[in-house]
Amino acid sequence: MSDYYDQTPEQRRQLRAQRNRRRQAQVRRRKLLLGLLVLAVLAVVLILVLRGCGKDKEPAQPTPSENVDKPDTPNTPAEPSDREQNQKPDDQQSNGEQEIPWNLTLVNRWNPLPEGWTVDEVELSNGWAVDSRCYDALQQMMDACRAEGLHPVVCSAYRTQAVQQNIFDQMKQSLLDQGYSDADAETEAGRQVAVPGTSEHQLGLAVDIVDLDHQLLDESQEQTAVQQWLMTNSWRYGFILRYPTAKTETTGIIYEPWHYRYVGQEAAAEIYQQGVCLEEYIAAKYGA
């Protein structure tokens, strides 16, 4: 205190001003921290509400071993779950004669996402999510691949309508920047990225998998050890290479040696053995 009164009036005034500024800064920091805390709480509440909407089934309860990014799960193909064996009529897609099961639901540029389709999300350790009905099979496939000393990475999985729209718009803008007309950019973007509402990623049954050491989404991906293994073995776990080479006219999507779709073990085995794409398989089996 004596030091304070030994100072000149101007020095005391400056000291008081400094103290006021410090107090004001502390008040601002407290208000900012309080605001961030409130926003965080609101965000958590919103996420919980959104995840609870539209779900008529109990969410899957993964055990500690059910981690897609975690190896050491026995190398055994997935068995059909209770949900698969006891699927309800609204899990099926009708072609007028036979009911097409949920796991073969066809989504492409000519067959949009079925109205009312919902995804029972199970989150992967890297933040992506898949439908609970294919989660176990995906885990087993990834663990089996890792058991061979390989390093697969899920770089995309379930997408909402908004996310798919954003990806499509980015692709179209890239083509416009390259000199495409608006109409041509729209068409070409639809060949390289599914039009929102027609993407398999919106089913929750499709994943994009790349090699950790080669994370490029182009045809060079097929040369990686991960893709070579997946192309040979994915059917054992109920997955197929969804957009194979030379099938672009039928699928409506360019060759994508990284996009895998869950269809169940029986259908995957038949598709692999016959060398057909999903559209051809459904047409032959169901006349759709």
Q: What share of the chain in percent tops pLDDT 90?
A: 61
pLDDT confidence band for 12 (50 / 70 / 90):
low
Select the more confidently predicted residue: 53 or 109: 109
The per-residue pLDDT for range 99-129, each reduced to its tens digit, is: 899 999 999 999 999 999 999 999 999 999 9
Is the pLDDT at 45 greater than 80, yes or no? no
Dig out the tokens for 113 from the structure. 């996402």
Q: Residue 122 forms beta bridges with which residues? A: 130
Helices within 194-245 (DSSP H only): 225-233
Q: Looking at residue 206, what is its pLDDT?
A: 98
How do residues 80-98 score in pLDDT, each as one tens digit? 444 444 444 345 555 455 7
User: Does 58 have pLDDT greater than 80?
Assistant: no
Q: Copy the structure tokens of residue 254.
A: 């360019």
- Pick the more confident residue, 16 or 64: 16
The distance in angstroms from the start CA to the end CA of the chain is 91
The one catalytic residue among 84, 121, 200, 256: 256
The domain over range 102-159+199-286 is classified in CATH as 3.60.20.10: no
At 18, is the secondary structure helix, strand, or coil?
Answer: helix
At 76 the three-state DSSP class reads: coil
pLDDT band at 35 (very low <50, low <70, confident <90, very high): confident
- The per-residue pLDDT for 65 is 34
Q: Residues 140-159: what's their mean pLDDT?
A: 97
By three-state DSSP, how is residue 243 classified? strand
pLDDT at 250 over 80: yes
Q: What angle do CA 230, 128, 219 make, to 5 degrees?
A: 40
Quick one: pLDDT band at residue 192, thresholds 50, 70, 90? confident
Torsions phi, psi of 218, nearest 5? -145, 180
Mean pLDDT of 202-212: 97
Q: Structure pTM?
A: 0.66
In Å, what is the CA distance from 36 to each residue of 26, 40, 44, 197? Answer: 15, 6, 12, 35
Is the predicted pLDDT of residue 207 greater than 90, yes or no? yes
Quote the Cα angle for 135-137-138, to 5°.
65
**Count of beta carbons in the 10 Å neighbourhood of residue 142:** 25
Query: What percent of the chain shows pLDDT beyond 70?
Result: 76
105 closest CA partner among 251, 241, 271, 262: 262
Where does 201-264 have alpha helices with state H? 225-233, 248-251
Q: What is the pLDDT of residue 175?
A: 95
* 10 included as an active-site residue: no
For residues 284 and 280, give the distance between their C-alpha atoms in angstroms, rounded to a whole number: 6
Comparing 106 with 67, the larger pLDDT belongs to: 106
